[in-house]
Amino acid sequence: MAISDDLCALIRENFEHNPTKEQEKAIFMMSDFLLSRERDEVFLLKGYAGTGKTSLLAALVKTLGQLQQRVMLLAPTGRAAKVLSSYAGVPAFTIHRKIYRQKSITDMNVFQNDINLKQDTLFIVDEASMISNDAHDNTVFGTGRLLDDLMHYVYSCEGCRLVLVGDTAQLPPVGEEESPALSRTMLEGYGMQVTELCLTQVVRQLEESGILWNATMLRSLIQNDEMFEFPKLRGKSFPDVKMLPGDELIEAL
């Protein structure tokens, strides 16, 4: 049996359920990516809500741990990092915490690009649609272009590569028309060879999640150009949706 087949089998064993055809394809593509000798290569995993991106990442992280391979989990925000850590079972950090450092003791509020010393590490970034690349004049972090700084940090160290995970239906960063980290063209502009896969088959039960049901409904309206007025959302019949009056919302958050 080839090494790629062994790796696929191990990822499949760590999967929480029987993978769909799309997920099986993702496992195969991930295995090829992990075994590739190409240095300047990035894996772009896009997928709708409920298509199993979370399950794939959890299985991948568990497999890498069993193989004693280095992996670093990152996310754009602290909340996203906490969610990522909860389903992956290992610590996750904000991108800013890992790729920047204070410029000097006397300049505590300015952060410069840090040096990547994590050789032979796979960096996995969830919620990549939130990563901006639009510099602001008052930025205190690196060049101000987060995607530029992330790419430079990861690929400045020998044997490091990047997996970007996100949903193209989510809003892009403020001031940008699309999410640069989910753009194949943008990533190829860094001289990267891009392995890309988009999951579309929803595997989570729609009737168990109001968030997923409404997200799927909205996506269908947008894709079919049927968004003529504000759609009517469903909430009362789902266990994961709680209706709150405005005066209770802030406290609940």
The domain covering 3-204 belongs, at the CATH homologous superfamily level, to P-loop containing nucleotide triphosphate hydrolases (3.40.50.300)
- The residue ranking higher by pLDDT, 152 or 50, is 152
Tracing tokens 């959302």 back to the chain, one arrives at 233
Q: What band does 98 get if pLDDT is binned at 50, 70 and 90?
A: very high
- What's the average model confidence in pLDDT over 113-124? 95
What pLDDT is stored for residue 130 in this prediction? 94
% residues pLDDT > 90 (the chain): 57
In the sheet with 193-199, reading across from the earlier edge strand, the strands are 92-94, 70-75, 121-125, 161-166, 41-47, 193-199
In angstroms, the CA 76 to CA 128 distance is 7
Computed over every residue of the chain, the mean pLDDT equals 88
What pLDDT is stored for residue 137 in this prediction? 57
